[in-house]
Chain A
Amino acid sequence: MATVELTRHLHSFFPALAEREITVQGATVAEVVRELEQLAPGLEFYLCDELGRLRRHVNVFVDEERVADRQRLSDAVGPGSRVLIMQALSGG
């Protein structure tokens, strides 16, 4: 099971995901996002656009690595991985 940590910004829109450990079975980032959508309907459209692409100002890390495939979210997620979903810092 991988664990998922969300920026607190998302907790304000999806309070059901706050203050709990989120564990998922997905083997790719895309599968993880689909599982999160089951837990919190609507979350997927916060993270991705209609084409399934990661939104420009959203960052996802698997352990220490920023995901490479923002188009299809095919990056692998291991059983012990930590998946971080953050807002991208755009500078300023």
Chain B
Amino acid sequence: MSERILVGTRKGTFIVEKQGGRWTPRLAGHSGVGVNFVARDPSTGTLWAALGHGHWGAKLSRSTDGGATWSDAPQIKYPAGARYLAPPEPSEDPDAAPAKATVKSATLLKLWYLAFGSQGRIYVGTIPGGLFTSDDGGETFELNRPLWNHASRGGDLFEGEGTGDTHWFGTPASEGEFAPGIHSIVVDPRDPDRVMVAVSTAGVLETTDGGQTWRSRNAGLRMDYLPDPTAEWGHDPHFVERCPGDPDHVWMQNHCGVFYSADGAASWKLVSAPDQGVHFGFPVAVDREDGRTAWLVPGKSDQHRTTIGGGLFVARTTDGGATWEDLREGLPQENAYDVVYRHALDCGGDAIAFGSTTGNLYVSDDRGEAWATVANNLPPIYSVRFG
């Protein structure tokens, strides 16, 4: 059973630990600063926080003493010459020729997600659409160029002008811009060279050679906002997670439903149950051993982004999405406007935890059967991770 929860919020990092049998939160750093994600590197025990300063930009912070003190880590920066294609902006010149895309120089807009490989590699997903890796414990980070230069986003703009056409669109999470972002990084525990990333908005890409080449992993996904719902690119995964003990089982909460794969994302199957409210949402958590068991916190459609009927519930499946149960005991069932962001639900064994935009933090010690409200008045919660 995990005994510590790391919580990233709009106004700082909180650590939640069991004291006298009760989960108890405390502010642990970054007071007043937006914290997009906090997690512990299991190889070193270092805590990492992805900060978003309103005025001063995105910064990586770390703690080597369990969160007692934090300091800026060596910072992630896009290399000189990194450019990307963005949706064209209206020109001031009424006679300007129409353009499919605008070429922009890349600067760090957001640190969105961190993942840790079995051999100590650290991965960071960023906006605009960067995957950075470190093999020296975070002293230096390098942009993965094969992914940055992928044909699906217009090819190599370091060396040339590329194709001029991109299938990577943007996310409103881009801190005032509209650029693509990497919010999910899934390392196969059996093979550290096999890594998946999910991009809003493009879809899932996988490498099986340590990041030298990437291919799409979007077969079976459907979208309802492009002419071809099964097109290779343009999908909007909200979060992707795989079962660490059963890694071929991969789950996705997508803008357009819940998808499950039992073959390592080679093919996806829609397993939504709209009649039960299981369809739209942001996060998904997967059991550590059983790849068919997963938890969601569904919301009411992309148009509303609220709870369904004012009641908050967690949906759980134990059979790969064939059936779903809604778990409500201990959760507010009236006037609840909790929205749970993509990184704010986690499985720590039998303990499941999630936090919401309304500053509520909920924990279950029995796999979701019953919930305790651990905090009511935290800042809006961006991430929840056991560690």
| Size bracket of the B interface | 10 to 19
| Size bracket of the A interface | 10 to 19
- Within 45-60 of A, Cβ neighbours of B (below 8 Å) are at 45-47, 49-51, 53, 55-58
Secondary structure at the A interface, as helix, strand, loop or mixed, is loop
Distance of B109 from chain A, by nearest CB (Å) = 9
Bound Cα distance from A9 to B72, whole angstroms: 16
Judged by a CB distance under 8 angstroms, whether B105 is at the interface is yes
Q: A42-B75, A45-B77 are in contact. Are A50 and B107 (CB under 8 A)?
A: yes
Secondary structure at the B interface, as helix, strand, loop or mixed, is loop
User: How many Cβ-Cβ contacts under 8 Å join chain A to chain B?
Assistant: 37
Q: Which residues of B contact A49 (CB under 8 A)?
A: 57, 107-108
Bound Cα distance from A53 to B105, whole angstroms: 12
Judged by a CB distance under 8 angstroms, whether B160 is at the interface is no
Which 5 pairs, one residue from A and one from B, show the smallest C-beta to C-beta distance? Answer: A49-B107, A46-B56, A57-B55, A87-B55, A50-B77
Bound Cα distance from A7 to B228, whole angstroms: 52
Judged by a CB distance under 8 angstroms, whether B21 is at the interface is no
Bound Cα distance from A57 to B53, whole angstroms: 10
In the complex, the answer to whether B56 meets A13 with C-beta atoms within 8 Å is yes
Q: Which residues of B contact A10 (CB under 8 A)?
A: 56
Q: A42-B72, A45-B75 are in contact. Are A51 and B55 (CB under 8 A)?
A: no
Judged by a CB distance under 8 angstroms, whether A39 is at the interface is no
In the complex, the answer to whether B57 meets A51 with C-beta atoms within 8 Å is no
Q: Which residues of A contact B80 (CB under 8 A)?
A: 50
Distance of A44 from chain B, by nearest CB (Å) = 10
Distance of A32 from chain B, by nearest CB (Å) = 17
